[in-house]
Amino acid sequence: MNLLLPIVFALLSGIAMSMQPGINSLLGKSLESSWLASALSFLIGTLALFLFVLFLGEGRSAGFLYKTAMSNPWWIWVGGLLGALIVTSAIVFAPKLGATGWLALFLVGQVSTALILEKYGILGFPEKPISLLKIVGLCLLVLGVWLVKKEG
C-alpha cells in the first residue's frame, strides 16, 4: 500500500494542529469570548465540510441517517463533542501553557491513549501489544514535555 498520501496528510494535520490553538486564541481575544470563538471555529469547519460533502456527491437521506443512528451505539456520535473539547481547550489553555507546552501535553495524551486503544483493540483499532520500545518512546515524550516546560 502506498503510504505517501497518508504520511503527507498526517504531517499537514500536525502543522495545522500547531497553528490552530494560536489562530483560535487570537479569535477568542478578538471576540472577548473563548466559547464564542470555539463555536465559530466549529461553525466554519462544519460549513466547509458540508460543502465538501455536497461537492463529492455524498449526501445521505434523513432515513439513512436515522437507520445509522439506531443501529450503532450512542457513543459513536461523540466525536464532535471531543473535537469541541480539544478546540476549546486549545483556545483557553494554549495561551497559558504556550504553543509548545500545550501541544506537547496534547501529544502525550494522544500517544498514551493510542497505546491503550491498540493494546485492547478498542474503537475498531487492530490489537497491537505495548512493547518496551513504545513505553520508552512515551517516556521520552513525557521527558520532552518536562524539558519544554522547564525552559519556559
Alpha helices, DSSP H, located in the chain: 4-31, 34-56, 62-70, 79-120, 132-151
- Kindly report, residue by residue over 32-57, the tens digit of the pLDDT: 999 999 999 999 999 998 888 888 88
Say which residue the cell 471576540 belongs to: 31
Per the rule left: phi > 0, alpha: psi between -120 and 50, beta: everything else, 113 is: alpha
Instruction: Judge contact between 131 and 74, C-beta under 8 A.
Output: no
Mean pLDDT for the stretch of residues 4-21: 87
User: Rounded to an integer, what is the distance from CA 131 to the centroid of its chain?
Assistant: 25
Report domain extents, the chain: 1-96, 99-151
| pLDDT for the residue numbered 1 | 62
Instruction: Judge contact between 20 and 90, C-beta under 8 A.
Output: yes
Mean pLDDT for the stretch of residues 14-39: 91
Across the chain, what does the average pLDDT equal?
A: 89
- Kindly report, residue by residue over 53-89, the tens digit of the pLDDT: 888 887 777 788 788 888 988 888 888 889 889 999 9
Instruction: Judge contact between 42 and 84, C-beta under 8 A.
Output: yes
Q: What percent of the chain has pLDDT above 90?
A: 43
